[in-house]
Amino acid sequence: MTRISLLGIPHDDNSSFFKGPAQAPAHIRPELFSDAYSMWSETGFDLTDRLVDHGDIRFDVATDPWDLIESEVGRVLEPGDPLICLGGDHAISWPILRAVRRRHPSLTILHIDAHPDMYDAYQGNPRSHTSPFARIMEERLADRLIQVGLRTVNDHHRDQFKRFGVEVIEAARFGDDLQLDLKTPVYISMDLDGLDPAFAPGVSHREPGGLTTRQVINLIQSVNQPIVAADIVELNPPRDIANLTAIVAAKLLKEIAGMMVKTRA
């Protein structure tokens, strides 16, 4: 039976404006495991006995957080189970993918977000949560990067797209019939602000005009290659309303996990 590993990464030191995403794992888990909701995914798999929760990474001042994330993700991946990481801000995707890439020499990133997160550096910080995909592509941690739902693209981003060969589907050009031509195992990076704030208000940087929850689920369910790992990032609980975004995060986690099982069957 395919099992899915969970790992919390409560880190937001590189958030550029609002802090808060470090609190996210503690808010997603109660919604994920609440008796108020089913543990069945829409793909038809009961996740009750499939999720293996490895708890949260504990950060300390003595260890570089990037080294610790890479090491802990590598440890959790060792048995070969797919992994879903709960952020945290989007900066954590870089060290996660360092560990994932070692196990997957062919890899496509499906990145759902309002923002490209491709700044060479932001406010002088190359580890900024606005910069992880510049670092990821510099280090060739993926063969393809497909970004979906963008709606804050500027000229610097466009230069970066050309530099790294990024495939971009902005929110304005998103269609419900979108079909991705995927050829390799897939890593999903799910920034919750990729959703319209009507569906996910609990994020640091709300950007109207985004995707619906249904559109994101349909996109996840369209993946026809093995999903080997994923992150769900940028939930900011102090900015949430009635835990709505935490509930959405838990729902998306279940649908990603269901597709992890389905694509490995």
Those residues with Cβ within 8 angstroms of residue 61's Cβ, 6 or more apart along the chain or in another chain? none
Q: How confident is the model over 225-263, as pLDDT tens digits? A: 999 999 999 999 999 999 999 999 999 999 999 999 998
What is the pTM for the complete model shown?
Answer: 0.97
Q: In CATH, which of 3.40.800.10, 1.10.1200.10, 3.30.230.10, 3.30.2130.10 is domain 4-264?
A: 3.40.800.10
Stretch 191-205: mean pLDDT:
98
Q: How does the average pLDDT of the chain come out, rounded?
A: 96
Over residues 206-222, the pLDDT tens digits come to 999 999 999 999 999 99
Mean pLDDT for 118-132 is 92
pLDDT band at 134 (very low <50, low <70, confident <90, very high): very high
Domain limits of the chain?
4-264
Task: Provide the pLDDT confidence category of residue 124 given band limits of 50, 70 and 90.
Answer: confident
| pLDDT over threshold 70, residue 63 | yes
Say if residue 160's pLDDT is above 90: yes
Give, in degrees to the nearest 5, the angle at Cα 212 between 115 and 32: 95
Distance CA 96, CA 85 (A): 8
pLDDT at 123: 87
Q: What is the pLDDT of residues 3-52, one digit of tens each?
A: 999 999 999 999 988 999 999 999 999 999 999 999 999 999 999 999 99
Give the model's pLDDT for residue 175. 86
- pLDDT value at position 61? 85
pLDDT at 93 over 90: yes
Q: Is 90 annotated as a binding residue?
A: yes
pLDDT value at residue 227: 98
Identify the pLDDT of residue 17: 85
- Quote the pLDDT of residue 264: 83
Residue 193 counted as an annotated binding residue: yes
**Mean pLDDT along residues 84-99:** 98
Kindly report which listed range (77-91, 115-129, 140-154, 191-205) carries the lowest average pLDDT score: 115-129
Confidence band of 265 (pLDDT split at 50, 70, 90) = low
